[in-house]
Structure 1
Amino acid sequence: MLTYEPDATIAHRLDPRTKLAVQIGFAATALAHTTPRALALLSALTVGILFAARVSLWRTLVAYRFALGILALAPLLAGLTLGSPWFDTAAAVTSGLASYRVALVLFVSAAYVRSTPVRKSRAAIQRTVPGKPGQVLGIGVALVFRFLPVLRGDLRTIRQAMAARLGTERSAVDRAGTIGLLGLTRAFDRADRLSLALRARCFAWNPTLPPLAFSRVDYLALGLAVALAWSAFY
């Protein structure tokens, strides 16, 4: 799973608010433009962003394998018809282009995850969205980034334990039900322990957050974000 890794890349030096702005601008442009030329330019930009954050393409593909599998399956399902000609090529191409744009957005988000600490993500959100909504949103993002890898680890442990006990010999429905039930049990147990830990540490709604500051590189990246957002309207 993709997580933050300390490094000295350009992406690591950027302010998290800048990286969020680039992501928003990129997503807006990717969803607005469907021509092959636009997708080629966005693909080149995605490669540049991954290079700037030094993201491993293989690790990204492995981390997003389930989402990418669904995106690859979507054009096939969209093209199927109940009657002649049985497969609509135009519908499949339209769905395939949409899936490709979503995949590009996922790859750009991978660069953000690898280059941004959780505390700085929370600080960026709370300083962008004022008041209690920003605090709630920042806390939610921080908990998701910290809690999701733990839950994935629990599911992996459950699957390995089932395999060691010849659980692979059982039916797919039985295995899915067992994993789902044990996964939910572990998730609720983790949530209870998290709640207790937060109370024990005197959880604060507005803790001291890390300082954020824009540099010269940030202004260049913000210019890119504005250009991407502006291009979504043309």
Structure 2
Amino acid sequence: MLSYAPGDGLAHRLDPRTKLAVQIAFAAAAFAHTTPGGLAVLTLLALGTLAAADVSPIEAIHAYRFALPFLVAGPLLEGLNWIGFDPAAAGETLLASHRVLLILLVSAAYVRTTPVRESRAAIQRTVPGRAGQFLGMGTAFVFRLLPLLIADLGRVRDAMAARLASERPVHERMALVAVAGVERALRRADRFSLALRARCFAWNPTLPRLSFGRLDAPALAFALALGLWALY
């Protein structure tokens, strides 16, 4: 699972609000331009975003491997019909799956280059009032807890493999992983709640200072260009 890693690359030096603007504009462009040509351009842009974040495409795809079976199965299921396989129907769904994968790759660049506290600060200073505080808090919680939950599931699977669970039927293995995963998630939630109370959790804490730099201007111009491209 990808997480923040300190660095001095191009994406690391951008303000988190700039990176959020690029993400939103990229997603809008991806949903607006669904043709093979449009997605080819977006693929190059996504690879460039990963390069700016010093993240390899293989690493980013591996981080989102849990989504790959759904992205692959969608076109296959869409193409199946009573008389065989319809390549046209599968092709449309394949383009949609590719669009989702590109958005995930761009989000991987954001996660690798942005500390959790800066993400919360960017959201709370962009969205005013209690709504911004709630969104910032929720984003921080997801970034902190999701990697732990995924690691817990990995440990459950490793423990099952050590006990020859692979010899059991698939539905039994799925049930064991689900039950153990939910149990560990509830335990994590209890410990997380206790940690918040012990640290006097506040809705409006002192957040890191954010400021736009010289590199943010071309990045914001890039986000604006993507947004305009999405409209036309």
Q: TM-score range by the shorter chain?
A: over 0.9
Cα distance in 2 for residues equivalent to 1:14 and 1:164: 45
Cα distance in 1 for residues equivalent to 2:163 and 2:103: 40
The one-letter amino acid of 1:173's match is: H
Answering whether residue 145 of structure 2 is matched by residue 161 of structure 1, we say no
Cα distance in 1 for residues equivalent to 2:178 and 2:206: 38
Which residue number in structure 1 is paired with residue 73 of structure 2? 73
Contact 2:50–2:109, Cα closer than 8 Å, also in 1: yes
1:124-163 maps to which residues of 2 (within 5 A)?
A: 124-163=122-161
The one-letter amino acid of 1:8's match is: D
Which residue number in structure 2 is paired with residue 23 of structure 1? 23
Deviation at 1:207, TM superposition (A): 0.5
1:59-208 maps to which residues of 2 (within 5 A)?
A: 59-82=59-82, 84=83, 86-208=84-206
Which deviates the most, 117-126 or 88-97? 88-97
**Uncovered stretches (5+) of structure 2, i.e. residues with no partner:** none
Which deviates the most, 164-173 or 25-34? 164-173
1:29-44 maps to which residues of 2 (within 5 A)?
A: 29-44=29-44
Cα distance in 2 for residues equivalent to 1:208 and 1:45: 35
Cα distance in 2 for residues equivalent to 1:168 and 1:98: 34
Cα distance in 2 for residues equivalent to 1:76 and 1:168: 26
Cα distance in 1 for residues equivalent to 2:150 and 2:38: 36
Cα distance in 2 for residues equivalent to 1:174 and 1:11: 44
Deviation at 1:23, TM superposition (A): 0.5
Deviation at 1:37, TM superposition (A): 2.3
Which residue number in structure 2 is paired with residue 218 of structure 1? 216
- CA offset digits 1:165-218 (Å, max 9, x no partner): 222222211111111111111111111111111111111110000000011111
- Work out the percentage of aligned pairs sharing the same amino acid: 61
How many residues matched?
Answer: 232
Which deviates the most, 169-178 or 109-118? 169-178
Deviation at 1:101, TM superposition (A): 1.1
Cα distance in 2 for residues equivalent to 1:179 and 1:35: 39
The one-letter amino acid of 2:5's match is: E
Which deviates the most, 2-11 or 164-173? 164-173
Cα distance in 2 for residues equivalent to 1:124 and 1:213: 10
Which residue number in structure 2 is paired with residue 48 of structure 1? 48
Name the SS of the counterpart of 1:206 in structure 2: coil
Answering whether residue 217 of structure 2 is matched by residue 228 of structure 1, we say no
Answering whether residue 3 of structure 2 is matched by residue 3 of structure 1, we say yes
Cα distance in 2 for residues equivalent to 1:64 and 1:231: 27
Which deviates the most, 175-184 or 1-10? 175-184
Cα distance in 2 for residues equivalent to 1:143 and 1:13: 24
Cα distance in 1 for residues equivalent to 2:155 and 2:91: 39
The one-letter amino acid of 1:207's match is: P
